[in-house]
Amino acid sequence: MTAALVGRTWSVLVPHHPSGARLARHRLTACLTDRIRPGLLADVMTVVAELVGNAVRHARPLPDGMIRITCQLMLREPDRTVRVQVTDGGSADAPRVRSATPEALNGRGLGIVAALAQRWGVAESAAGRCVWAELH
């Protein structure tokens, strides 16, 4: 499901399943393609995939079995800023950038997010845990 909210905000619900990242990328790409430049779109979709993948691997789903992705387009001079939020049911461990060896098969997700985003962080609420990133 994809819904436009308040003109420049889109919300997508995807299953708490490895296919969720692909679904989120496809749905949000359709919403953002004509609104931001291709390079920024590629970075936003990489961040979406990493955050959804982390939610599937490390967190519980929301009570409905889903993960919520919200994408907000903000006009800030001189560029457009895209804020991505991925909300899941949380986990015992707080999200953090890890150090991965060259041989490691995982452990690079938040490092990639930190490299692409100008800012990122984590917010906890009664609804779950939200990991967010801003790119411009």
Domains of the chain by residue range: 2-135
Indicate the average pLDDT of the chain: 90
Note the pLDDT of residue 53: 95
* Crossing angle for the helix pair 19-32 and 38-58, to the nearest 10 degrees: 150
0.85 exceeded by pTM: yes
What's the topology of domain 2-135?
Heat Shock Protein 90 (3.30.565)
Give the chain's radius of gyration (CA, Å).
Answer: 14
- Give yes or no for residue 19 having a pLDDT over 60: yes
Question: Tokens 């993960």 appear where?
Answer: 67
Is the Cα torsion angle 124, 125, 127, 132 positive or negative in sign? negative
